[in-house]
């Protein structure tokens, strides 16, 4: 297992800047970040990002809540480029573990980024669903508490550092 640093952003200028830097191993986005970055069309904006991020891994998240729709979206997202990882939430909005989605996609050698993982139990369940020959990322979210004396800039930097910590399981 090796820890890698991924930039959690959909901002085109940020991705373009960090794509040239060794400090970042790759990128991870989500629909909320895409919208906040000005995306009007998810696919079109993703392709714009892929024009500057051609080699480093980049994760694009499904936005469906239903497992069958997640699978349809995942297959489409996977076809966009060789460096794309499909980002799947560990649970949907109903709290249902997305193990069947993870298992199917991983068994088809689709690179995955399992996101919004908060517990060790979730991590164990995910690992049991993964094909050990398929590259996968498990994005573990950390809870952080801050002292109000920090400036907004420092807070944003600290949050960014912790939010981009992603544990990469390369079996």
Phi, psi of 56 (to 5 degrees): -70, 150
Give the separation between CA 141 and CA 118, rounded to whole angstroms: 6
Tokens standing for 13? 């200028």
Give the separation between CA 84 and CA 53, rounded to whole angstroms: 10
Q: Nearest to residue 135, comparing CAs of 31, 71, 67, 58?
A: 58
For residue 134, count CB atoms less than 10 angstroms from its CB and return exposed for 0-12, middle for 13-18, buried for 19 or more: middle
Query: Could you tell me the CA-to-CA distances from 171 to 34, 89, 145 in Å, in that order?
Result: 30, 21, 33
Catalytic annotation, residues = 87
């Amino acid at each position: 297992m090796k820890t890698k640093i991924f930039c959690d952003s959909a901002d085109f200028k940020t991705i373009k800047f960090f794509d040239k830097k060794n400090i970042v191993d790759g990128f991870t986005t989500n629909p909320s970040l895409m919208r906040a970055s000005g995306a009007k069309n998810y696919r079109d904006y993703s392709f714009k990002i892929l024009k500057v991020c051609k080699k480093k891994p980049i994760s694009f998240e499904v936005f469906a809540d239903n497992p069958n729709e997640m699978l349809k979206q995942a297959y489409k997202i996977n076809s966009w480029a060789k460096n794309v990882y499909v980002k799947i939430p560990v649970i949907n909005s109903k709290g249902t573990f997305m193990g069947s989605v993870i298992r199917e996609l991983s068994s088809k050698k689709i690179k995955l980024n399992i996101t919004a993982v908060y517990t060790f139990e979730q991590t164990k369940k995910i690992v049991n669903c993964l094909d050990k020959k398929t590259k996968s990322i498990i994005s573990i979210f950390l809870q952080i508490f801050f002292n109000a004396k920090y400036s907004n800039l420092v807070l944003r930097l600290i949050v960014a550092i912790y939010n981009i910590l992603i544990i990469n399981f390369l079996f």
